[in-house]
Structure 1
Amino acid sequence: MKRQLELDLRAKILVFPVARCLAEVRQVARRLDAIRDVAEAKAYWRGVVADLDRRLSSHGLTRDQINVELWGFFDAVQMEMLRQYGGGTPQKGQTK
């Protein structure tokens, strides 16, 4: 009599945080800084967010998880823009 081996091949996929994708964060920060037209900058940012949303959704993240990732990316881009201006990292509660 042969035995049937049953395997559970399900896996949990862990997505690398987009806020830690430094090359992408820096590229977006540089591009936003180079755009002088506010409407063009908004359109570019909306495109970046839409692309990230599609990518994260295709990996199976929930809407809440995607929103957390998008806000983290937003914060990372803002901090990178401050760093590029030589402002360093502002302390909590401080503004430049």
Structure 2
Amino acid sequence: MLTVTDNARTAVEGLVQENQVPAEGGLRIAEAAGQPGNFELALVQAPEAEDQVVAQSDTTHVFVDPAASVALDELTLDIQPDAEGPGFVLVQA
């Protein structure tokens, strides 16, 4: 299962608050349409019915699309410290 670092969780929390995403919403990771091996990250109001919840707290949720969950199984969501704003990266766990 995809893991999420504390730094990434904090970044998601900031984005959720800044964009006034409801409590049941969060960051959703899905395979990019027509681009195998690439992923799209988006703030969503709520997860899709089949999404896997990989991180949650009172203010933070990270959801993974079922089609992407196998590819992300042994990866960790982190942030790139030198990026302007939260630059998310997927790294080997």
TM-score (norm 1): 0.29
- Larger helix proportion of the pair: 1
Bigger relative contact order (CA 8 A; separation at least 6): 1
Decide which structure has the larger Cα Rg and report it: 1
- Larger strand proportion of the pair: 2
